[in-house]
Amino acid sequence: MERQDVIKLFGYWKSAGLKPPVSASSMEGQESMVRTFLDQYRDLTGEQVQYLRNALCRLQYWPRFYDVDDALANYRRERDAEQKKPITQASPAGLRKSAKLWAWTKWKLRQHRDIIPYMPTHNEILLYGQKMGLNRNEIVSNYRLLQVILNDANYCTAVGEEDIGYKVYVNPDREVCFSVTTAKGFEPNRMIQVDHDPLVANPKLANFL
């Protein structure tokens, strides 16, 4: 904490309507108040100063050292409670989707193939999802996967290829999946240990693309 930080802090409290003590009515008194506060709280971080600024401006009087110490104790309690919160775990479905997308991305990088020029439109993704028998919520859940599938389809159309290198299906959990193929080096489902046979999961969609 620097001298200028103390001056800004005091200025904020003044603008909030708090009146400094009478001893700070003169320039010498103001300088003494700044110096004393800085000596007492020189080690405060910017985050702590911000906390004090907001927490103590609601007082009906100019903050005393007791008020500052009490606010800092509250800050530490809140910070400790935040750090002890359990880390939210991603859902299994979310992890599977991330694995598929990462596998697809690595495949494109190995191919040195542009991605952006072949991105489908929002309406194309919705229509494709509907053709696969997905409802609107399922389309939203699988949106990025549908996007990369259509990206490959658009690329193949542009370069005159008939096969995108894998089959697409919807498993019993209503997740869009790719069938395992090594023809073009793309094995997303093997990476995430998909247990469903695509033909059993949805025979009509096994040859969708």
pLDDT tens across 112-169, in order? Answer: 888 888 888 888 888 888 888 889 889 988 999 999 988 888 888 888 887 777 778 8
Residues 189/99, Cβ–Cβ less than 8 Å? no
Most confident segment among 96-100, 161-165, 179-183, 192-196: 96-100
Residues 119/147, Cβ–Cβ less than 8 Å? yes
CA distance 32 to 17: 21
Percent of the chain with pLDDT over 70: 82
Amino acid 71 reads A
The residue extents of the domains of the chain are: 3-83, 92-205
Is 80 exceeded by the pLDDT of residue 202? no
Which of residues 191 and 142 earns the better pLDDT score? 142
**CA distance between the termini of the chain:** 63
CA distance 207 to 209: 6
Phi, psi of 168 (to 5 degrees): -120, 140
Task: Look up the pTM and report it.
Answer: 0.46
Number of neighbours of residue 95 by Cβ within 10 angstroms: 12
Tens-digit pLDDT profile for residues 45-78: 888 888 888 888 888 889 998 899 998 998 888 8
Residues 18/55, Cβ–Cβ less than 8 Å? no
